[in-house]
A and B are shown apart, each in its own frame.
Chain A
Amino acid sequence: MQNVATMKGPFDGLLEAWPRKLILLAIVVVVVAFPAMATELNASRYTTAVVFAVIGLSVNILMGYAGQISLGHQAFVGVGAFSAAYLATNTGLPIYLAIPLAGVIGGAISAILGLVALRIQGLYLALITLAYGAVAERSIFSIQALTGGGAGIPALRPEPFVKDNTYSYFCLLVLMLVLFFDWRMMRTKFGRALLALKSNEQVAASFGMNPVFYKVGAFVVAGIVAGIGGGLYAFKEQHVVSADFTFALALTFVIMTVIGGLGNRIGVVLGSAFTAYIPVILNSVARWFDAQWVIPYRLLFTALLLLLTLTQFPGGIAQQLHPFTEWLVGKPFHLPHKKKGKGKKHKGKAATTVDIADESDPEEQH
Chain B
Amino acid sequence: MATYIVIGLVSGVVYGLAALGLVLIYKGSRLFNFAQGEFGTVAMYTLYVLVVLNDWSYIAAAPVALVVGIALGLLTERLVARPLANSARVIGLVGTAGAALLMIGTQLVVAGPLPHNVPGGLSGPGLTLFGFRIPQQSLLTIAVLAVVAVVAAYFFRRTFLGLAILANSQDPVAAKVVGANPNRISQLTWGIAGFLGALTGVVLGPSVDFYPGFMTTIILIPAFTAGIVGGMTSLIGAFVAGQIIGLVEAIGGYMVSKELPIVSEIPEFPTVLVFILLIITLLVRPRGLFGQEA
Q: B198-231: contact bitstring with A at CB < 8 Å (1 yes, 0 no)? A: 0000000000000001001100010011001000
Binds A, one of B45-53, B85-93, B153-161: B85-93
Rounded to whole angstroms, the CA-CA distance of A301 and B108 in the bound complex is 12
The residues in A between 331 and 366 inclusive whose CB is less than 8 angstroms from any CB of B are 358-361, 364, 366
**Nearest chain B CB to A249's CB is how many angstroms away?**
12
Please state if A131 and B101 are interface contacts (CB–CB under 8 Å): no
Asked if B271 lies at the interface with its beta carbon under 8 angstroms from chain A, I say yes
Provide the residues of chain B in CB contact with A134, threshold 8 Å: 221, 271, 275
Q: A109-152: contact bitstring with B at CB < 8 Å (1 yes, 0 no)? A: 00000001001101110111011101100110011000000000
Provide the residues of chain A in CB contact with B87, threshold 8 Å: 310, 314, 358-359
Provide the residues of chain B in CB contact with A126, threshold 8 Å: 32, 90, 93
Please state if B98 and A135 are interface contacts (CB–CB under 8 Å): no
Asked if A203 lies at the interface with its beta carbon under 8 angstroms from chain B, I say no
Asked if B102 lies at the interface with its beta carbon under 8 angstroms from chain A, I say yes
Asked if A93 lies at the interface with its beta carbon under 8 angstroms from chain B, I say no
Q: B77-99: contact bitstring with A at CB < 8 Å (1 yes, 0 no)? A: 00110011001111101110111
Which residue of chain B has the shortest Cβ distance to A257 in the bound complex? B94
**Nearest chain B CB to A241's CB is how many angstroms away?**
14
Asked if B106 lies at the interface with its beta carbon under 8 angstroms from chain A, I say yes
Asked if A185 lies at the interface with its beta carbon under 8 angstroms from chain B, I say no
Please state if B271 and A135 are interface contacts (CB–CB under 8 Å): yes
Q: A128-B282, A296-B112, A366-B287 are in contact. Are A254 and B84 (CB under 8 A)?
A: no
Please state if A299 and B104 are interface contacts (CB–CB under 8 Å): yes
Please state if B271 and A307 are interface contacts (CB–CB under 8 Å): no
Which residue of chain A has the shortest Cβ distance to B113 in the bound complex? A296
Asked if A321 lies at the interface with its beta carbon under 8 angstroms from chain B, I say no
Please state if A142 and B268 are interface contacts (CB–CB under 8 Å): yes
Please state if B286 and A124 are interface contacts (CB–CB under 8 Å): yes
Please state if A311 and B278 are interface contacts (CB–CB under 8 Å): no
Asked if B2 lies at the interface with its beta carbon under 8 angstroms from chain A, I say no
Q: B256-294: contact bitstring with A at CB < 8 Å (1 yes, 0 no)? A: 000000000111110110110011001100110001010
Rounded to whole angstroms, the CA-CA distance of A307 and B100 in the bound complex is 11
Please state if A307 and B90 are interface contacts (CB–CB under 8 Å): no
Please state if A301 and B224 are interface contacts (CB–CB under 8 Å): no
Q: A126-B32, A303-B101 are in contact. Are A131 and B225 (CB under 8 A)?
A: yes
Please state if B88 and A300 are interface contacts (CB–CB under 8 Å): no
Please state if A255 and B221 are interface contacts (CB–CB under 8 Å): no
Provide the residues of chain B in CB contact with A132, threshold 8 Å: 275
Q: A123-B90, A128-B282, A358-B91 are in contact. Are A143 and B217 (CB under 8 A)?
A: no
Please state if A127 and B105 are interface contacts (CB–CB under 8 Å): no
Please state if A366 and B102 are interface contacts (CB–CB under 8 Å): no
Q: Which residue, of A120, A132, A303, has the highest number of chain B Cβ atoms within 10 A?
A: A303
Asked if A63 lies at the interface with its beta carbon under 8 angstroms from chain B, I say yes
The residue that B109 contacts in the complex, of A67, A297, A311, A364, with Cβ under 8 A, is A297
**Nearest chain B CB to A74's CB is how many angstroms away?**
14
Provide the residues of chain B in CB contact with A301, threshold 8 Å: 105
Rounded to whole angstroms, the CA-CA distance of A130 and B84 in the bound complex is 21
Rounded to whole angstroms, the CA-CA distance of A126 and B101 in the bound complex is 17
Please state if A306 and B32 are interface contacts (CB–CB under 8 Å): no
Q: A128-B278, A135-B271 are in contact. Are A116 and B224 (CB under 8 A)?
A: no
Rounded to whole angstroms, the CA-CA distance of A301 and B104 in the bound complex is 11
**Nearest chain A CB to B294's CB is how many angstroms away?**
8
Rounded to whole angstroms, the CA-CA distance of A300 and B232 in the bound complex is 30
Provide the residues of chain A in CB contact with B112, threshold 8 Å: 296
Which residue of chain B has the shortest Cβ distance to A242 in the bound complex? B267
Provide the residues of chain A in CB contact with B84, threshold 8 Å: 310-311
Provide the residues of chain A in CB contact with B98, threshold 8 Å: 255, 303, 306-307, 310
Provide the residues of chain B in CB contact with A238, threshold 8 Å: none
Provide the residues of chain A in CB contact with B279, threshold 8 Å: 116, 128
Rounded to whole angstroms, the CA-CA distance of A300 and B97 in the bound complex is 13
The residues in A between 60 and 90 inclusive whose CB is less than 8 angstroms from any CB of B are 63, 67-69, 71
Please state if A299 and B101 are interface contacts (CB–CB under 8 Å): yes
Q: A119-B282, A138-B267 are in contact. Are A258 and B94 (CB under 8 A)?
A: yes
Asked if A247 lies at the interface with its beta carbon under 8 angstroms from chain B, I say yes
Rounded to whole angstroms, the CA-CA distance of A122 and B79 in the bound complex is 23
Q: A134-B275, A310-B95 are in contact. Are A122 and B90 (CB under 8 A)?
A: yes
Q: A300-B106, A303-B101, A307-B99 are in contact. Are A254 and B271 (CB under 8 A)?
A: no
Asked if A166 lies at the interface with its beta carbon under 8 angstroms from chain B, I say no
Provide the residues of chain A in CB contact with B287, threshold 8 Å: 366
Asked if A281 lies at the interface with its beta carbon under 8 angstroms from chain B, I say no
**Nearest chain A CB to B24's CB is how many angstroms away?**
15
Please state if B90 and A120 are interface contacts (CB–CB under 8 Å): no
Asked if A251 lies at the interface with its beta carbon under 8 angstroms from chain B, I say yes
Q: A255-B98, A311-B84 are in contact. Are A361 and B271 (CB under 8 A)?
A: no
Provide the residues of chain A in CB contact with B79, threshold 8 Å: 307, 311
**Nearest chain B CB to A62's CB is how many angstroms away?**
10
The residue that A251 contacts in the complex, of B88, B101, B225, B268, with Cβ under 8 A, is B101
Please state if A123 and B102 are interface contacts (CB–CB under 8 Å): no
The residues in A between 193 and 242 inclusive whose CB is less than 8 angstroms from any CB of B are none
> Can you sample 29 A-B contacts with CB below 8 Å?
A63-B90, A119-B283, A120-B286, A123-B90, A131-B274, A131-B278, A134-B221, A134-B275, A135-B272, A139-B266, A139-B271, A142-B267, A255-B101, A258-B94, A296-B108, A299-B108, A302-B105, A303-B98, A303-B101, A310-B84, A310-B87, A310-B91, A310-B94, A311-B83, A311-B84, A358-B90, A359-B88, A366-B287, A366-B293
What are the 7 tightest A-B residue pairs by CB atom distance, in nearest-first order?
A300-B105, A299-B105, A303-B101, A142-B267, A303-B102, A69-B90, A306-B98
